[in-house]
Amino acid sequence: MPKVVVVGSYIVDLMCRTPHIPKPGETVLGGSFQMGPGGKGGNQAVAAARLGSDVTMVTKVGKDVFGEEAIRNFQKEGIDISRVNCDEKEATGTALIAVDQHGENMIVVALGACGSLTEEDVEQARGEFADADIILVQLETSIEAVKKTIELANEFVKPVILNPAPYQEIGEDLLKGVTYITPNETEVFALTGIEVTNFSQAQKAAIKLTNKGVSTVIITLGRKGCFVYDGTDAGRMIAGYEVKAVDTTGAGDAFNGAFATFISQGFNLDEAARLSNSVAALSVTKIGTSVSMPYKEELDFLKDN
């Protein structure tokens, strides 16, 4: 069973269905409302746990009902909560999500407690880092926590996945310590200034990132799949899966949690990416983020494909 340490956010998702995404100043009468566990860190931790990983979550929640629900949710998913700290001042993070009839979304995030995750909070998980097979981190916390995460992963010679979302400006010194980076089209443009719409542009962006020190680049491209580059060849596209999407909100998180699991299980890069594409595709067929993460049993259909 892979041991995965996830350092990141826990955020409560407040999601409403809407006929279309509101324009500035527009009020739209929405449909169904749903509240549930979320945050990129929390989602990725659940994705990895449901696929069979032994997951430790490093985050902060508020001293409120949402924080209490976070603890209950992690425990239900079998996630180690020994490094989930409670902030005495900040509320648990929240995300306001609008999802239209095509499954596209708009999100506003208030980080709250997880935004105050400190280097010391990460340092407290030193023992878990030492025992881990892989470390997974995003940018939905403080940059100081991200930096400490990468430093500890490097100290213990552990592979580290950086999901650079939501994008924050990061120094090249951080990138030099990253094994795998997993930007989407928006994030890779912010990182490189290259708009990725075809193979050639994906290759240029990936080369630019490896020149900054990253070992392997995986550009996630939604239903098209992902572009993988590790410097051994020109890079390659790993095809996605065609499904009827009802909510695309957690797809990137599903991919990252899955990739951490599959690469730790010994799958090669391309196969881990292919399997992660399938997990992301399954996640968008359900409403919600954390709750939409597939279980490993749901991947059985791949055996015949």
pTM: 0.91
Query: In a structure prediction context, what are the per-residue pLDDT tens digits for the chain, which is 305 residues long?
Result: 899 999 999 999 898 989 998 889 999 998 889 888 889 999 999 999 999 999 999 999 999 999 999 999 999 999 999 999 999 999 999 988 888 888 788 888 899 999 999 999 999 999 999 999 999 999 999 999 999 999 999 999 999 999 999 999 888 889 999 999 999 999 999 999 999 999 999 999 999 999 999 999 999 999 899 999 998 888 999 999 888 888 787 899 999 999 999 999 999 999 999 999 999 999 998 887 888 899 988 876 544 44
Can you give the residue range of the structural domain that contains 74? 3-22+30-304
Which one from 54, 121, 133, 253 is the annotated catalytic residue? Answer: 253
What is d(CA 154, CA 104) in angstroms, rounded to the nearest whole number?
37
Q: What is the pLDDT of residue 302?
A: 46
Q: How many domains does the chain have?
A: 1
* CATH number of residue 193's parent domain: 3.40.1190.20
253 is an active site residue: yes
| Residues making up the binding site for ATP | 184, 220-225, 252-253, 277
**pLDDT tens by residue, 89-136:** 999 999 888 888 887 888 888 999 999 999 999 999 999 999 999 999
For residue 24, say if its preceding peptide bond is cis, omega within 30 degrees of 0: no
Distant-in-sequence, close-in-space partners of 40: CB < 8 Å, separation ≥ 6: 8, 9, 11, 138, 140, 163, 165, 166, 252, 253
Q: How big is the chain by its Cα radius of gyration, in Å?
A: 18
